[in-house]
Amino acid sequence: MTLGALVDAGAPFPALVKGLSRLGVRGFRLRKRRVQRGAISATKIDVLISSNLRHPLSLSRIRTVLSSSRLSPHLRRQSLAVFERLAEAEGKAHRVSTDHVHFHEVGDLDSFVDIVGGLICCELLDVSRVTASAVNVGTGTMHSAHGILPAPGPAVAMLAKQVPIYSAGPSRELTTPTGLALLRTLTAEFGPMPLMTPVAVGYGAGDANPKGWPNVLRVFLSREGARHGRAQDTVVQIETNLDDVNPQTYEHIMGRLFLAGALDVTLTPVIMKRGRPAIVLACLVPPVGVDPVLNVLFKETTALGVRVQEISRHVLPRRFASVKIRGGTVRIKIAAVDSVHTKAAPEYLDCKRIAERTGRPVRAVLEEAALAYAKSRRAAKDRS
């Protein structure tokens, strides 16, 4: 349903197929078609899988596939974050450790494609911020690999913590663990629809077509421009003082925090009481992503307590463009300051990969990417 809604809203289907080919996984293909769900015409994306590839994928196998894929580092981190969130929810729901979770339906290849494909579509649409309404989780009972379960299932119930949910419509499951884990990973804020100027609306159809109920997911795509004012959202700032952590572990800790959903992580040197040198570790986290980040801090550091506060921030609308330089392609992050002025910077990890592959200094790659983007802008102005 997510794939269908995002493609319906404008994500190019051929680009989605090409993006998924970078996974390096064979044995599936996508099919796009128009279907009717109640009174609504929607896009249905089917993931067609070879019969010999229907066994569930384990979390370790998913990690291996993602790490060896040709997806961008950002997509790999986001995809892994979704599956680790799923593993944590399944583990808590069925009282097993995360490492011993059997994904069953969640780990099937089609769900793997749904998750990565949804993230690819967001990248294709230059999505920089996601908000969502309250989630309809359904009611009644459902059949699963664990037997007959109440709807919502135990994993969805775990994932729904701190998320506004409700139940309406037919007696069936209306939210899957895959869908809610993806939504929680992407979403900065749940609640009423914010003020926006939509430029596209997409409808993605589910498999089921219950009588009298349009089983679709609707997505509004809004392009935020400077004339509408800067966007404002709410994030949670988490801080803790550390004076007895081995500095060699900081890189690992920061990586785990980003995988847990942190938007940003910083380390600031300070002097504490009695002249002790220390580090203030600070994270910015979406409101619905606090618990996974807290779990990392308490497990991976010596922290006994943390400071948590909600803060508001103003953000510039952002998009990505790509430029080709010697050795590969570099994404350029572009932020609109107003209707005339923009800020642009090459993605460091793209430049680092090219530098490692070619043996060139990363500084030279960054400069060449910035120059290539500047030339492309001048050429675009000349054509207009």
Contact 148, 141 (CB under 8 A): yes
> 60-95 burial, b if ≥16 CB within 10 A, otherwise e?
eebeebbeebebbebbbbbbbbbbbbbbbbbbbbee
Non-local (6+) Cβ contacts of 118 within 8 A are 2, 3, 6, 182, 186
Contact 162, 179 (CB under 8 A): no
* Amino acid at position 128, single letter: S
Query: For residues 357 and 334, what is the distance between their CA atoms, to the nearest angstrom?
Result: 25
pLDDT value of position 95: 65
Domains of the chain: 2-226 (no CATH), 231-315 (3.30.70.1380), 318-383 (3.10.20)
- HSE toward the beta carbon, residue 315, CA cutoff 13 A: 17
Greater confidence (91 vs 329) lies with 329
- HSE toward the beta carbon, residue 131, CA cutoff 13 A: 17
Whether 247 shows a pLDDT value over 60: the answer reads: yes
pLDDT over 90 for what percent of the chain? 53
Distances (CA, A) of 287 to 186, 189, 230, 235, 236: 12, 7, 20, 6, 6
Torsion of CA 345, 348, 354, 359, to 10 degrees: 110
Query: For residues 182 and 81, what is the distance between their CA atoms, to the nearest angstrom?
Result: 9
Greater confidence (88 vs 281) lies with 281
Whether 379 shows a pLDDT value over 80: the answer reads: yes
Structure tokens at 292: 């996974």
Query: For residues 108 and 93, what is the distance between their CA atoms, to the nearest angstrom?
Result: 19
3-class secondary structure, 11: coil
**pTM of the full predicted structure?**
0.64
Distances (CA, A) of 263 to 121, 212, 252, 319, 365: 20, 41, 16, 17, 26
Please write the tens of the pLDDT for every residue from 141-183: 777 666 788 888 888 999 998 899 999 989 999 999 999 999 9
* Amino acid at position 32, single letter: K
pLDDT value of position 97: 59
